Structure 1
Amino acid sequence: MASKAKLHPRNQHLEGYDFKRLVAQTPELEPFIINSPVGRPTINFQNPMAVRTLNQALLRTHYSIKSWDIPAGYLCPPIPGRVDYIHHLADLLTDGDENVVLPQGRHIRVLDIGTGASLVYPLTGQSEYGWHFTGVDVDAGAIKSARQICESNGLDIDLRLQTNPENIFRGVIQPDDAFHVTMCNPPFHGSKEQAKKGTQRKWAGLGKGRSAKLNFGGRDAELWYPGGEIKFIARMVNESTEFAKQCLWFTTLVSKKDNLQPLHRILGKAKVAEYKVVEMAQGQKTSRFIAWTYIKKKQRT
């Protein structure tokens, strides 16, 4: 049997969840803990309250977020996989030079497209590296939730509402903005019906039978986009050309490996200076993000 792929070496969740430590910080988690078939503590990931309470415990214990919650129906993301993206972005910003000190501090500016009600990337990235985040979302409810999280924890995160759902960078990147990196977890289904079918397949694959619940929740804008992931990222690449001098690296998660080839052609037409695919792993699952820049390496500072 193949061994499980590991998270990033700097990921605090590399060895799994320390439920004893989590419960010590968040006693509300204890009623949700059950034993797995092999006798290890876990939770029922089909239970939205269990997942939300686990996230509260993880954010409190590992990232000093004392107060966190999201409205019903919004995406409640799994923390370990999300923070892996942050650690790989830190590596990206070193340009592959192992002798370069990891980028830390508020002078490192990150743009999070689709930051969501959970604000998971800014919360974990600010805690791990001290970066300054700007979070953008098309959903006013998500921005309201994110603001409440910031206010409850005394955090300085710039939050912007994207008022035109047809745009990604346009309208939110201002003329005087400059970012070291952008990030995004794009909607990867092409319709609401595809999202529902994808959820059914996943639960069946996990041996859970049929379920009407969307995995980890999620609203329409978080889960699907007309034309799916490729269309969304294609629009992102197209708009990125307008802000080529304001962002060092543009990045986005890509859910399906088969989407890399058409995206490679799209980036070729955009005449980027460099393009990378960064693979990430969590257990049996492999994910990835693509990164592109219009700035040649010798011009980067």
Structure 2
Amino acid sequence: MAIKTKLHPRNQHSEGYDFVRLVAQTPELEAFTISNPLGQTTIDFQDVRAVRMLNRALLKTHYNIDFWDIPSGYLCPPIPGRVDYIHYLADLLADSNNQDIPRGRHIKALDIGTGASLVYPLTGQSEYGWNFTGVDIDVGALKSAKQICEFNELEITLRRQNEPKDIFCGVIKANDAFHVTMCNPPFHSSMEQANKGTKRKWANLGKGHSKKLNFGGQNAELWCPGGEIKFIARMVEQSMEFADQCLWFTSLVSKKDNLQPLYRILGKARVADFKVVEMAQGQKTSRFIAWTFMKKNQRSLFANRAEK
């Protein structure tokens, strides 16, 4: 019996995981299945191998991805929560499109920090047919992402960010136009803070003391100087340079307490509009912040721009 979750109404995982269907598509998953105290089929979500195999099954069953894997040490993302971001972005774009959900390759999305998993372009392209560009600073992550694209014959553009302090600069080209940008920023301010967070999680899970990260993660995925606020502040600052090349800039915000400082930063940037979209996932609430420099009449014109 599946456990219902509070995901977006269009999220394919809102009714929980259908393990019968998943195992039928990916038989290797069966070796990782267990029964919970209620007799329901599940996996050990603290087992990185099990989560990786579940992701492989989910991507194949729901998103037509025949091959997916990531190198050891990289973040293994939870698919249902990640795809929720995509669905709420579709709603955001619909507001500038006569409430019609935008579909097709003329809709261009920029994924900052696309990662080794390529999770947002994979799910977003499958659900809405959007044209994705994935950017990352990590060579290993881009190599993995390229391999996923090649094996699945996907048209996803990959670009490397060569400057650690830059986000949009250097990767948005003069002739680019994006309907939306997205980002899951590093939220720790240092490796020490990341390690403390990991120890706290393991203690809460009854795992004792451990230096292992639950789902891996490279330094650039986990922390940056100044943490999440500083990273998004830099994103806002650089977005001003590309104000007429993107309809909506967005970023996940891990902590609600970080919103007030970000409001002040956006006010100083004199954006035309901004909003916070909350996403409920089970007992957890996540959110993303979105801002635009375009007025309402400009947004509808930009949203209807076709791919040249």
Taking structure 1 as the reference length, the TM-score comes to 0.96
Report the 3-state secondary structure (helix = DSSP H, G, I; strand = E; otherwise coil) of the residue aligned with 1:146.
Answer: helix
Alignment partners' CA distance in 2, 1:182 and 1:222: 17
Deviation at 1:200, TM superposition (A): 1.8
- Corresponding letter in the other structure for 2:172: I
Identity %: 76
* Paired position in structure 2 for 1:167: 166
Q: Is the 8 A contact 1:4 1:282 kept in 2?
A: no
- Structure 1 unaligned spans of 5+: none
- Structure 2 unaligned spans of 5+: 302-308
Alignment partners' CA distance in 2, 1:22 and 1:291: 34
* Paired position in structure 1 for 2:126: 127
Deviation at 1:5, TM superposition (A): 6.1
Q: Is the 8 A contact 2:187 2:224 kept in 1?
A: yes
Alignment partners' CA distance in 1, 2:192 and 2:42: 31
* Paired position in structure 2 for 1:58: 58
Deviations 1:247-277 (A, max 9, x none): 0000000000000000000000000000000
Deviation at 1:4, TM superposition (A): 8.1
Alignment partners' CA distance in 1, 2:12 and 2:196: 33
- Corresponding letter in the other structure for 2:51: V
Deviations 1:112-131 (A, max 9, x none): 00000000000000000000
* Paired position in structure 1 for 2:135: 136
Report the 3-state secondary structure (helix = DSSP H, G, I; strand = E; otherwise coil) of the residue aligned with 1:10.
Answer: coil
The aligned length equals: 298
Deviations 1:92-117 (A, max 9, x none): 001177x6221000000000000000
Report the 3-state secondary structure (helix = DSSP H, G, I; strand = E; otherwise coil) of the residue aligned with 1:195.
Answer: helix
Taking structure 2 as the reference length, the TM-score comes to 0.94
* Paired position in structure 2 for 1:93: 93
Deviation at 1:292, TM superposition (A): 0.1
Structure 1 64/4 Cα, relative in aligned 2: closer, same or farther at 3 Å?
closer
Q: Is the 8 A contact 1:83 1:124 kept in 2?
A: yes
Q: Is the 8 A contact 1:253 1:289 kept in 2?
A: yes
Deviation at 1:46, TM superposition (A): 1.6
The answer to which of 202-211 and 69-78 deviates more is: 202-211
The answer to which of 260-269 and 39-48 deviates more is: 39-48
Alignment partners' CA distance in 1, 2:175 and 2:259: 32
Report the 3-state secondary structure (helix = DSSP H, G, I; strand = E; otherwise coil) of the residue aligned with 1:245.
Answer: coil
Alignment partners' CA distance in 1, 2:124 and 2:256: 26
* Paired position in structure 2 for 1:104: 103
Q: Is the 8 A contact 2:109 2:180 kept in 1?
A: yes
Deviations 1:215-263 (A, max 9, x none): 2111000000011000000000000000000000000000000000000
* Paired position in structure 2 for 1:81: 81
What are the residue-to-residue correspondences of 1:165-244 with 2, within 5 Å? 165-244=164-243
Runs of 4+ in 1 over 6 A off after TM superposition: none
Deviation at 1:213, TM superposition (A): 2.0
Alignment partners' CA distance in 2, 1:117 and 1:272: 32
